[in-house]
């Protein structure tokens, strides 16, 4: 279980949304761990890179009123059922994160993704069979992408589901079986620090563009596979940032509805706060939002993605 | 007027009337009892421990029924004009308290009593009148068969407007096990208290102020607190209730798959928009009404067919609409108004009819005329229940008893816990609430367990119940125990930032007690466990803390296409956690440490 307070105290809103089942992909009854059921999935976000070309830490880059790391942690969290873990460099400062996200440190700084993978898998291995591993610098990552890649690893019963698109393999946008931890540790001990060495010794399923887009939800939400687009320098970041925010649908209920006939609203928003502002809803303790009819949240920085439907409701459901 | 040494806000006594012969006695209420139970539901639990014979048949003459007031009644604190009706439930066979509001509370307390207890039975249909001169019984044959509101109006016309009346409708007279007691159009609705009065052949209880109030310990401080609370009651925390009323839930719940539909076979109803507050408010809203001493005004009155008007609540519309698959607003409003006239709980009526519709579809009962979505058949079933005719005689027993009678697997989808039909909160998509519904002493109920608040707060995963859900269920149950004992309306709860200390600050200047938030937390736990203790005495076993098989075996499809499930293992885990946190043994009995900490010996029969 992720570390959470075991008390409940309604009152002022806490930042952060609730944990829940994944937004896309399989039907599941994960917490009961029934044999034959879908695998428990976790998220690992590597935040410890040096950001040399960017010139400043990518984790804290502004993203529509949030930060890049907050967004990626939130997007990965939306598509996984278990914990989300951030792997940072020793002592690295991070922006504010959703409260349920955990932070672990690389054992040694600057040794690359395999070192981060080891730290991340260690943190989640007891709670999940599969982990989606992401870099921080993919601002257009869509939850449907995460769900599809994780689903592929499970369906194909492989150790790694590895997207291959735009002419590259994407080991930091891939699903890994957490039981690979021993292999990862061994490679680190041998100083064989490239992901390719790991792929040589396990079952890898490469997912090309055509296969990725076979998933209808992903094809609709991200037809150009921008989920894989890294921003490595200020120019790439500025161009990505200049794109329009995701197209979402907003519905307001009860006293929040302004007038009959104006629902739903089609608008662009990258966060819950932006959607609320655009819909004229004051996101205070008397209001909650339901995402796609399921997850309830009050986190202003909760990341929205293309195709989402946000319902704003009165927090008081007494009847 | 006041018993010597009674705390502020109390008279320190209960009046017990035996309606068999009209005799009365006074029961002194010691300060330790008042401080330990407060009033309302808490004091009602104590009275039942003291006065109800063990294993009594709730419909027998010996079964007591109490109207219980509270120290806040009669103060200027907003929403405090409330009373609890408490007895053993003919529907659940367990302790039941149901609350209602308005002038009956004030006049009833001003008879000079903190509670009015009725036992015995009349030889003929009668009315009980209580004022400063005592109690008297009058024959009421001409009122028998009337709707409660009409009986109320006639009694006030006959005796004068200073009299306030709580009455039963035809359903109570005919011992429908979910009949209500109503006053001024508001119902002490759940658990069949109207049938208890019906069993005593008591059409109504009328009360009139004797004049003298119970003095407050610090009237100036109470007035200041009342002004502050009133101001806060106009804020955003109550906007929903003021502007649209509880029916605002309907479309919201539909959007998040928590709107029980077709006897809990679905949790979203395609035609919900036809019944939405946002829609009906524009077209049918007639007026907004307030209980006595209330500054919120949550009651929204809509036009119903036949020139009638109906007070519209979410629970009425959910139960007589989506739960029965009915989407025609005229029919739902007509059914709601008819429930009021007959004096039946809309939730249990709708739940039992919806269950019967499913039975009919499955061929388990011979009622081919009864179908989901068929409004006329719903209205017919309601009439038959009120008259206890035809199929209605079975349905008047509630879905648990009816399920047992029908057999053939019909019990598995009877929408009840402990015999009480579920309110409009789908347990599979509100899993803290699933626990609250399973363990509450009254049965499946949203007023004694508000765990849905946690589910809908965003602070926990509503689709995956666990430890935190158990903590949330306990917290909200404890809060309800205090609000139901003070008594304050739950629609105020959003204005209290730190509820237990806030409530202590209201109670202290009324009573003169140095009461704290911590003390009230302990009081809450005491009241919750005391109700369970009563139930244990009546034969309750742990097996009754459970949900119907439907919720544990059938996945629920969400609008996203995924499924919500609640496995027996998960529910059992949450219940285990609940017991542990409540200090209960595996069989539900309070552990010795719990008994000592909560001073449960207060409830020992004296």
B445 vs B459: CA distance, rounded Å: 22
Predicted local distance difference test score (pLDDT) of residue A1: 34
Per CATH, B13-207 and B428-603 having the same topology is answered no
Q: Which residues of chain A lie closer than 8 angstroms to B282, CB-CB?
A: 260
Nearest residue of chain A to residue B475 (CA atoms) = A8
Residue B89 DSSP code: -
A65 vs chain B: nearest CA distance in angstroms? Answer: 21
Strands A41-46 vs A84-88: parallel, antiparallel or unpaired: parallel
Interface of B with A in 262-321 (CB under 8 A): 277-279, 282, 313-315, 318
Cβ separation A296–B456 shorter than 8 A: yes
A195 vs chain B: nearest CA distance in angstroms? Answer: 34
User: What does each C-alpha distance from B128 to A172, A254, B47, B433, B468 come to in angstroms?
Assistant: 78, 43, 20, 39, 48
Predicted local distance difference test score (pLDDT) of residue A111: 79
Cβ–Cβ under 8 Å, residues A317 and A285: no
Residues of chain A above pLDDT 90, percent: 75
| Residue B252 contacts A, CB cutoff 8 Å | yes
Q: What is the CATH number of domain A245-314?
A: 3.10.20.30
Among candidates A220, A117, A100, which has minimal Cα distance to A175? A117
A88 vs chain B: nearest CA distance in angstroms? Answer: 26
Per CATH, A30-239 and A245-314 having the same topology is answered no
Strands A173-177 vs A160-165: parallel, antiparallel or unpaired: antiparallel
- Strand, coil or helix: B15: strand
Residues of chain B above pLDDT 90, percent: 91
- Which CATH code, of 1.10.569.10, 3.90.1150.10, 3.20.20.80, 1.10.3720.10, is assigned to B233-421? 1.10.569.10
Q: Which residues of chain B lie closer than 8 angstroms to A5, CB-CB?
A: 468
**Segments making up each domain of chain A, as ranges:** 30-239, 245-314
Contacts of B592 (CB under 8 A, 6+ apart): none
- Confidence label for B590 from pLDDT (cuts 50, 70 and 90): very high
Predicted local distance difference test score (pLDDT) of residue A23: 37
- Strand, coil or helix: B410: helix
- Confidence label for A262 from pLDDT (cuts 50, 70 and 90): low
Q: What is the 3-state secondary structure (H, E, C) of B118-173?
A: EECCCCCCEEEEEECCEEEEEECCCCCCCCHHHHHHHHHHHHCCCCEEEECCHHHH
DSSP per-residue string spanning B186-213: EEE-TT-HHHHHHHTTEEEEEE---SPP
User: pLDDT digits over B177-236, tens only?
Assistant: 999 999 999 999 999 999 999 999 999 999 999 989 999 999 999 999 999 999 999 988
For B472, the closest of A1, A8, A290 (CB atoms) is A8
| Residue A3 contacts B, CB cutoff 8 Å | no
Predicted local distance difference test score (pLDDT) of residue B560: 77
Q: Across residues A74-101, what is the average pLDDT?
A: 94
Here the ipTM equals: 0.90
Cβ separation B464–A31 shorter than 8 A: yes
Cβ separation B251–A6 shorter than 8 A: no
Among candidates A25, A38, A29, A142, which has minimal Cα distance to B567? A29
Residue B601: other Cβ atoms inside 10 A: 8
Among candidates A168, A149, A273, which has minimal Cα distance to A212? A149
Cβ–Cβ under 8 Å, residues B533 and B45: no
Q: Which residues of chain B lie closer than 8 angstroms to A307, CB-CB?
A: none
Cβ–Cβ under 8 Å, residues B126 and B139: yes
Mean pLDDT of the residues in chain B:
96
Fold of B13-207: Aldehyde Ferredoxin Oxidoreductase;  A, domain 1 (3.60.9)
DSSP per-residue string spanning A99-161: TT-EEEE-SSTTS-HHHHHHHHHHHHTTT-SEEEEEES--TT--HHHHHHHHHHHHHTT-SEE
Cβ–Cβ under 8 Å, residues B572 and B597: no
Query: Of the given ranges (A164-168, B219-223, B400-404, B558-562), which has the lowest mean pLDDT?
Result: B558-562
Cβ separation A5–B468 shorter than 8 A: yes
Whether A16 has a pLDDT exceeding 90, the answer reads no
Tokens found for residue B107: 């006049």
- Confidence label for A258 from pLDDT (cuts 50, 70 and 90): low
For B458, the closest of A18, A30, A255 (CB atoms) is A18
Indicate the pTM of the whole model: 0.93
Cβ separation A19–B559 shorter than 8 A: no
For A314, the closest of B248, B315, B490 (CB atoms) is B248
Nearest residue of chain B to residue A311 (CA atoms) = B255
Q: Mutating which of B254, B256, B258, B570 best tests the A interface, going by the most A Cβ atoms within 10 A?
A: B256
Predicted local distance difference test score (pLDDT) of residue A26: 34
User: pLDDT digits over B235-281, tens only?
Assistant: 888 988 988 899 999 999 999 999 999 999 999 999 999 999 988 88
Query: Of the given ranges (B32-36, B135-139, B285-289), which has the lowest mean pLDDT?
Result: B285-289
User: pLDDT digits over B347-394, tens only?
Assistant: 999 999 999 999 999 999 999 999 999 999 999 999 999 999 999 999
Q: What are phi and psi of B97, to 5 degrees?
A: -130, 140
Nearest residue of chain B to residue A292 (CA atoms) = B560
Residue A303 DSSP code: B
- Confidence label for A37 from pLDDT (cuts 50, 70 and 90): low
For A316, the closest of B455, B494, B560 (CB atoms) is B494
- Strand, coil or helix: B405: helix
The verdict on domain B428-603 having CATH code 1.10.599.10 is yes
| Residue A157 contacts B, CB cutoff 8 Å | no
B300 vs chain A: nearest CA distance in angstroms? Answer: 13
Radius of gyration for the alpha carbons in chain B, expressed in angstroms and rounded: 22
Nearest residue of chain B to residue A20 (CA atoms) = B461
- Confidence label for A10 from pLDDT (cuts 50, 70 and 90): very low
Nearest residue of chain B to residue A319 (CA atoms) = B246
**Segments making up each domain of chain B, as ranges:** 13-207, 233-421, 428-603
- Strand, coil or helix: B311: strand
Query: How long is chain B?
Result: 606
Tokens found for residue A181: 């931890």
Q: Which residues of chain A lie closer than 8 angstroms to B457, CB-CB?
A: 10, 288, 296, 298, 315
* Residue that is written with structure tokens 């036809």 in the block: B274
Q: What is the CATH number of domain A30-239?
A: 3.90.550.10
Among candidates B541, B564, B602, which has minimal Cα distance to B42? B602
Nearest residue of chain A to residue B472 (CA atoms) = A8
Residue B571: other Cβ atoms inside 10 A: 22
Cis peptide before B487 (omega within 30 of 0): yes
Predicted local distance difference test score (pLDDT) of residue B3: 61
Strands A102-105 vs A84-88: parallel, antiparallel or unpaired: parallel
User: pLDDT digits over B422-443, tens only?
Assistant: 999 999 999 999 999 999 999 9
Whether B444 has a pLDDT exceeding 60, the answer reads yes
User: pLDDT digits over B137-153, tens only?
Assistant: 999 999 999 999 999 99
Cβ–Cβ under 8 Å, residues B491 and B234: no
Nearest residue of chain B to residue A286 (CA atoms) = B237
Predicted local distance difference test score (pLDDT) of residue B235: 87
Half-sphere exposure of B131 (CA within 13 A, CB side): 13
User: pLDDT digits over A297-312, tens only?
Assistant: 999 999 999 999 999 9
Q: Which residues of chain A lie closer than 8 angstroms to B562, CB-CB?
A: 21, 27-28, 294
Cβ separation B493–A318 shorter than 8 A: yes
Sign of CA dihedral B559, B560, B561, B566: negative
Tokens found for residue A288: 């909650």
Contacts of A126 (CB under 8 A, 6+ apart): none
A110 vs A132: CA distance, rounded Å: 21
A152 vs B511: CA distance, rounded Å: 66
User: pLDDT digits over B93-124, tens only?
Assistant: 999 999 999 999 999 999 999 999 999 999 99
Environment class of B133 (CB within 10 Å of its CB; exposed 0-12, middle 13-18, buried 19+): exposed
Interface of A with B in 31-70 (CB under 8 A): 31-32, 34
Environment class of A262 (CB within 10 Å of its CB; exposed 0-12, middle 13-18, buried 19+): exposed
Strands B23-28 vs B95-101: parallel, antiparallel or unpaired: unpaired
Q: Across residues B37-43, what is the average pLDDT?
A: 98
| Residue B196 contacts A, CB cutoff 8 Å | no
Nearest residue of chain A to residue B432 (CA atoms) = A8
Predicted local distance difference test score (pLDDT) of residue A17: 42
Cβ separation A314–B239 shorter than 8 A: yes
Contacts of B541 (CB under 8 A, 6+ apart): B587, B588
* Residue that is written with structure tokens 């044959």 in the block: B141
Whether B91 has a pLDDT exceeding 60, the answer reads yes
Q: Across residues A96-105, what is the average pLDDT?
A: 93
Cβ–Cβ under 8 Å, residues B462 and A296: yes
Query: How long is chain A?
Result: 319
Contacts of B327 (CB under 8 A, 6+ apart): B269, B271, B272, B274, B275, B321, B373
Query: Of the given ranges (A32-36, A141-145, B290-294), which has the lowest mean pLDDT?
Result: A32-36
A23 vs A103: CA distance, rounded Å: 23
Whether A130 has a pLDDT exceeding 90, the answer reads yes
């Amino acid at each position: 279980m992720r570390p959470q307070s075991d008390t409940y105290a309604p009152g002022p809103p806490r930042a952060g949304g609730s944990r829940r089942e994944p937004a896309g992909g399989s039907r599941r009854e994960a917490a009961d761990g029934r044999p034959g059921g879908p695998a428990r999935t976790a998220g690992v976000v590597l935040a410890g890179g040096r950001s040399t070309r960017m010139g400043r830490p990518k984790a804290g880059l502004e993203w529509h009123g949030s930060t890049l790391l907050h967004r990626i942690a939130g997007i990965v969290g939306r598509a996984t059922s278990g914990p989300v873990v951030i792997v940072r460099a020793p002592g690295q400062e991070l922006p504010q994160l959703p409260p349920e996200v955990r932070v672990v440190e690389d054992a040694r700084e600057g040794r690359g993704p395999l070192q981060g993978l080891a730290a991340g898998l260690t943190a989640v291995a007891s709670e999940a069979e599969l982990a989606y591993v992401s870099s921080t610098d993919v601002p257009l990552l869509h939850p449907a992408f995460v769900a599809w890649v994780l689903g592929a690893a499970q369906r194909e019963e492989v150790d790694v589901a590895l997207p291959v698109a735009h002419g590259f393999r994407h080991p930091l946008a891939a699903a890994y079986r957490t039981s690979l931890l021993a292999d990862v540790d061994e490679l680190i001990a041998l100083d064989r620090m490239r992901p390719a060495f790991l792929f040589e010794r396990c079952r890898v399923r490469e997912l090309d563009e055509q296969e990725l887009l076979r998933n209808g939800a992903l094809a609709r939400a991200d037809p150009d596979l921008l989920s894989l687009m890294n921003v490595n320098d200020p120019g790439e970041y500025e161009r990505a940032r200049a794109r329009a925010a995701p197209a979402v649908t907003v519905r307001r209920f009860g006293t929040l509805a302004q007038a009959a006939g104006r629902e739903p609203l089609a608008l662009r928003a990258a966060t819950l706060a932006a959607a609320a502002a655009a819909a004229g809803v004051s996101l205070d303790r008397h209001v909650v939002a339901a995402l796609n009819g399921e997850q309830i949240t009050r986190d202003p920085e909760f990341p929205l993605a293309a195709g989402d439907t946000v319902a704003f409701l009165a927090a008081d459901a007494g009847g | 007027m006041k018993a010597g040494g009674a705390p502020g806000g109390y008279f320190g006594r209960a009046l017990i009337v035996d309606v068999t012969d009209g005799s009365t006695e006074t029961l002194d209420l010691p300060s330790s009892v008042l401080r330990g139970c407060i009033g309302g539901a808490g004091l009602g639990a104590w009275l039942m421990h003291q006065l109800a014979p063990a294993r009594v048949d709730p419909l027998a003459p010996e079964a007591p029924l109490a109207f219980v007031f509270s120290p806040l009644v009669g103060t200027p604190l907003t929403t405090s004009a409330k009373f609890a009706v408490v007895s053993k439930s003919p529907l659940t066979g367990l302790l039941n308290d149901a609350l209602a509001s308005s002038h009956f509370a004030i006049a009833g307390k001003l008879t000079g009593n903190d509670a009015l207890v009725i036992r015995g039975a009349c030889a003929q249909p009668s009315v009980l009148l209580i004022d400063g001169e005592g109690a008297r019984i009058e024959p009421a044959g001409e009122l028998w068969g009337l709707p409660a509101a009409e009986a109320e109006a006639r009694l006030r016309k006959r005796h004068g407007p200073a009299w306030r009346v709580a009455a039963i409708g035809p359903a109570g007279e005919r011992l429908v096990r979910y009949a209500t007691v109503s006053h001024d159009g508001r119902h002490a609705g759940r658990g069949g208290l109207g049938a208890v009065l019906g069993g005593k052949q008591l059409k109504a209880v009328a009360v009139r102020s004797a004049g003298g109030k119970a003095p407050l310990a610090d009237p100036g401080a109470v007035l200041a607190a009342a002004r502050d609370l009133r101001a806060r009651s106009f804020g955003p925390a109550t906007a929903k209730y003021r502007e649209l009323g509880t029916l605002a839930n309907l479309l919201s719940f539909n959007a998040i798959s928590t709107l029980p539909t077709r006897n809990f076979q679905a949790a979203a109803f395609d035609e919900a928009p036809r019944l939405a507050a946002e829609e009906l408010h524009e077209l049918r809203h007639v007026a907004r009404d307030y209980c006595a001493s209330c500054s919120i005004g949550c009651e929204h009155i809509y036009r119903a067919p036949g020139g009638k008007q109906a007070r519209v609540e979410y629970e009425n519309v959910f139960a007589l609409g989506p739960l029965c698959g009915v989407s025609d607003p005229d029919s739902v409003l007509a059914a709601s108004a008819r429930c009021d006239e007959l004096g039946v709980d809309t939730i249990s009526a709708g739940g039992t009819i919806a269950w019967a519709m499913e039975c009919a579809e499955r061929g388990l009962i011979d009622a081919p005329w009864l179908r989901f979505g068929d409004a006329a058949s719903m209205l017919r079933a309601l009439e038959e229940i009120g008259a206890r005719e035809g199929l209605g005689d079975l349905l008047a027993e509630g879905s648990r008893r009816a399920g047992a009678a029908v057999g053939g697997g019909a019990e598995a989808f009877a929408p009840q816990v402990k015999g009480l039909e579920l309110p409009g909160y789908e347990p599979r998509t509100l899993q803290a609430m699933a626990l609250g519904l399973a363990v509450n002493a009254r049965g499946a109920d949203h007023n004694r367990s508000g765990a849905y608040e946690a589910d809908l707060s965003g602070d926990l995963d509503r689709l995956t119940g666990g430890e935190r859900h158990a903590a949330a269920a306990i917290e909200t149950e404890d809060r309800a125990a205090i609000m139901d004992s003070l008594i304050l309306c739950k629609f105020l709860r959003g204005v209290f930032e730190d509820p237990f200390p806030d409530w202590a600050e209201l109670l202290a200047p009324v009573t003169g007690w140095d009461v704290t938030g911590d003390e009230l937390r302990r009081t809450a736990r005491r009241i919750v466990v005391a109700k369970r203790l009563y139930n244990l005495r009546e034969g309750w076993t742990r097996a009754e803390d459970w949900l119907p098989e439907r919720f544990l075996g059938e996945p629920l499809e969400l609008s996203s296409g995924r499924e919500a499930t609640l496995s027996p293992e998960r529910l059992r885990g949450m219940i285990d956690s609940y017991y542990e946190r409540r200090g209960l043994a595996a069989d539900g009995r309070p552990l010795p440490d719990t008994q000592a900490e909560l001073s449960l010996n207060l409830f020992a029969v004296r």
